[in-house]
Structure 1
Amino acid sequence: MSELIKGWAQWFRDRPDREHEITLNRFFISIAILVFTLFFMPVGDTALAARAISVVYLVAATLLLGHLLYEPGISNARRIIAMVVDLVLLSCGLAIGQDAVAILYPFYYWIILGNGFRYGEAYLYSATAIGTAGFGVVVLLSPYWQSQPLLSGGLLAGIVILPLYAATLIRSLSRAKEAAEQANRAKSAFLTSVSHELRTPLNAIMGSTDLLRDTTLRRDQRDMVDTIQTASNALLSQINDLLDLSSIESGQIALQIAPFDPLELVGSVKNVGAVQALAKGVQFHLFATGRTPTRLEADARRVREVLINLVGNAVKFTTQGSVTLSIDCVFDGGSPFLVLEVSDTGIGMSPAEQAVIFQRFTQANSTILNRFGGTGLGLAIVRELVDLQKGRIEVSSRSGEGSAFTVRLPVRLMAEDEPMGSLLTETRVVLLDPLGTVPPETMDDLAATVGAVARATSVDEAMTRIILPAADEIRHTVVLIAGVLHAWPEPEDLERTVTELRTATPAGIFGFDRDTDGFPPIALRRLLTSVVDHTQIADGLSHAMRLTGLDQQSAAGSPAAITRRERGLRILLADDNRVNQKVISRILEAGGHFVKLAVDGQEALDAMDAGGLEFVLMDLNMPGMDGLEATKLYRMMSLDRPHLPIVGLTADATQSAADRAAEAGMDACLTKPVNGPVLLDRIDALYAEYGQPGERQPFRPVVVPDTPPVTQAASAPDADAHVDTAMLKNLETLGGPAFVAAVISDFLTDGSQLLLELREVAATGDVAGYAEKAHALQSGAGNIGVLQVAEFCRSWRPRSSEDLMENGPSVVERIEREFETARSILLRQHARRPLLISDRDAGA
């Protein structure tokens, strides 16, 4: 009932005017008047007439309230009718009731002034005219009022004079309101103007800093450049907050309601938050209930902005422990609401601090600014965006124990996609049910949904079943832990169980139980990504696998065919990484192109200057002269030559990298690891646009025959989480098993050396050296699908030499552990076959 009342209250608050206030007052006052005439007026003809008028007034008030609920928008006709009904029936009551109802005279002022203050001067004057006429008729017809001429005249004059005086007050209030709105608009315009003016020189500072980072600097100079870059990023974030707040205040933000996938949205937010958390050594968890749909209609951009702000705040104020992002969908009064919660184990807040955190330019306490920085606008913007979507935000926190922000947004349900049948039929489920809580009929439903089911009553048995080879059509193995919401004995036992299982299948571990209202305990959400409901197995399991990325691995399982061009181009590939050279050159050769290699910018510059090339792929980061400098020099040297298309290659997937490539004179910038068909298509398009017209010929792609499949051993149970097997299959399609084995051998050799160098530069605090080595390792790992190594290299960058020396060794240690895990998987699955060496070869 309380939720229903809150819903009605929110509905009234969202109306465009305040007519609902006077309408509700009229309804309750009409009930009070009827009660008065029924029980407190003397019996007689006058009482009967007054009761009749009271009944008519109650009916009219009810009809007006009903019309307001049916048509909640602004209605001038309804306002006028209500005003006439109020004043006419009040006058009739005073005329008939005589002295018994004289107490109702003040209602003239309530009606007249109420209409004036709510709707403006026109309504004030209209109500005054009707009220004056009505009370004048009462005085003329009523013996009681005629017997009191001085009193009647004074009251009649009051109906005229007081509203006219109120009109002057209304005009003053209107002028003050307009002045305040103008001042607010001027302030917003000022903020916007100043913020834009600040961004212009700031962009120059940040751009120059990026260019400085690419030059040869002493260690102290590079530290100063890092400091400038960190301060510039912080200032840019604060300016963006000011612009966001200004846009909201000036009403420039309009909601763009469109269908979106909430699971995909929280997944993208998790990718951002996890990087920030990893840099601080904080864990990041994502949880979705089985009720969460895959298709909703709302403003996804604003929802994402709310979550990005909340997640950023949670990571910012958490120095150890974890941040958890949870999503759910609930129904209230038949309407769907998206529920999002961001909880952390950070510094927490006292009740007094919670009362002010949503105010603008306000921090929870005076120490926050010095310890964590910021403008105090983040949560104010969140509150504004939530209000804009007619939602609600609440905070629960205790000082020193962390905080939880819960956002509740109204949404519209859309028709959902069917559960991914191919994904489920390619999945083997190991059901861990130590307490025997899953009934036989549920086991039958599970078996009918997925490709294979194996039941286990202990962790050891589950581990054994996970490791056992699966049928050829099975691509994924996931674990469902039964009874996590109702039957599991202790959270500590569950944590130990999940930790053990993660050594065998890190990604796919979910709960399996009957659904419950709301979110499960936070301890469980930090362990499991989702809980699959017994009654919604297909939807729940496919949703859970989407959150962990297993569906993407399935979708990527079939490599796209590479097409050979009938006329190949002479392409220069400049890259210092042997793995990248082999993989990319093999892709280019499979596409029908001719490849020349260079290992640094100087070699690339010499090759371009010598001529005979039609296209260049240039790594941005190479030892000595890098790709950017080589491109700049060549563009200066070749002003009188035909344009040579140069495309940058980088593992840095930021706009900054693309901007630096464009400034250097590159025609485009592609992110590694490269996708073979995509790379070849981009070369086609860019050569058609930038290539030499005299040599341009139409491309007529023909499909390159697939390499015959090679029988392999069953995949290790943890391979998909550490190594992208689909990418390795793509490489095998390009060059066969021997080529894959050679690429792996090069990666492991170069990677081991890079790890040694990473540890050295981390110990000495060489930030530039760390960035160079990490970039090289990330590039090589990405090109053969060693996912976690590439992610660790990409996600953490030291802010200073001190930061590198303090945190670098532990980060490098994590990279080394992941590298060793990947090494064992790669050697187990793709070890190079021994080569037969003839006597002649041996004696050579």
Structure 2
Amino acid sequence: MIALMLHVFIGAAWTWVWAGVYASAQLVELFLIQAAIKHPGVGFQGWRRIAVGIMPVVTSAIFGFLALPLFASHERFAPTLGGLLLAGALLNVIVVNSSLRSATISAAAPHLIYLMIVPFVARAANPGAPLANALWFGVILLIISVAVAGRTLEKALNAEAAAKDEAERRRHEAEEAVAAKSAFVAMISHELRTPISAILAGAARLHSDVPDAASKTHAQLIGDAGAMMRTLLNDLLDLSRLDAGRMGIEKVPFDLRQSMADTLRLWRPDAQKKGLRLRVEGAAHLPRWVAGDPMRLRQVLNNLLSNAIKFTPRGAVTVRLAAREDGEALIFEVVVADTGPGLSEEQLDRLFTPFDQLASAVVREHGGSGLGLVISRELARLMGGDLTVTSKPGKGSKFRLEIRVEAAERADDRVAGASIAGARVLVVDDHVVNRRAIELVLQSFGIQPTLAESGERALELLQSEMFDVILMDIYMPGMGGRDATRQLRASEGPNRDIPVIAVTASATPKDWEACHAAGMNAHVAKPIDPSQLYTALSEVLSAGVISAAAA
């Protein structure tokens, strides 16, 4: 471009030769740089030195040489053009090579030398010109300005690099802190599940055994406190899994209409205690069998109903149910509207903030961790929908839940009629409190289990006695539950094919996949929920996978 311009305006045909030489030098420099990048080994250090130290000098010398004929030219603006070329070349060197000081010095040196020569060339070409000596002042001023600009740019780049390093360091610290928090929550949850399981199992057994009403009330109080502890623990675990991206959503067939009826039936006594009306609209128009995650759906709906009843002093809580087609899927919508005090704009902004109960008075009056709505919204999004809210002070609140489900065939209902009383169950857990808690729950089902304190002891019993099902803890000293299951499946013993149910505090999809890969048939989470344990036992026993002796 420069050669074409000079050829057109001042008729300098020699500039084409200059352009060819300069282009060739740039190609050589580019080749050497690429070779040094692709082959960073010791054998290519010489090429790197040439590319960084020598070639910038050569290319700058060739480019800057163009300024000398321009300064010697008698064309009116030729010297001005020469000065602009050198000044522009220096600025380009500063900007392009600012991250590498040696390359900057190498590339700038020829231009600085040319600038020092310019006054001599101008005086020789224009003897007696009054401004020839003034060029010295302009050259020195330009050199100082370029040096200051280069130093400023270098400081800015160094500051930017330092800021990036600091940001990266803080990011690593934050990731380590999150990992440490998740590990701590997992450890604490594992330790808390054992006593909570014992509290719930003991309270349930005590409630069923004691004859007098006062003792039953005390047992119920213990059970309610244990259930509250379990809820808070599950909230913490769910939030930890959501933060870590480890929360999974199942897709199983379930009766949507029956699931909603069961959930709403659970909350009617609480509403009646407060004198509230619990109204349901649209239930009769819901589809029956759909595929989705019924447990997570009930979890979200339970939280919405709990909040609505908790924060509504009088009036009614209305639940509107609807479903509509969306392509091949169905959009299931639940609207929970209450006649409570409503929420201000500020409260709405903070509503989905973890651990924020809007005001200390709320904590004192109602308790809770402030995690329920946060978890519910994230679960709704994992299920392909969302959870939104509209509210005004004094006019109540309206929560709208939408999730995606799919139409499904009626599930096999053999489990409903399955009887587990008298089943031969082996309980394997290294913790005596856990073994006792599970034993109490099983006894309420009409089962007297056999207990084993380790994977090794379980394998010994499985070689000599017949069982229908195994309840296996996962993490135990020595042989863990998955290893014990693998050895059982690989053996030739009489219990090789009986179902194994994983019983563990590590309730993540990844853990369940690992259990399934080890040969386990189902899973239940600690603290033990009697209804979930009963369902799991019914499913595996009714599936026909039982020991040969029991067949």
TM-score by length of 2: 0.47
Higher Rg of the two aligned structures: 2
TM-score by length of 1: 0.33
Higher relative contact order (CA 8 A, sep 6+): 2
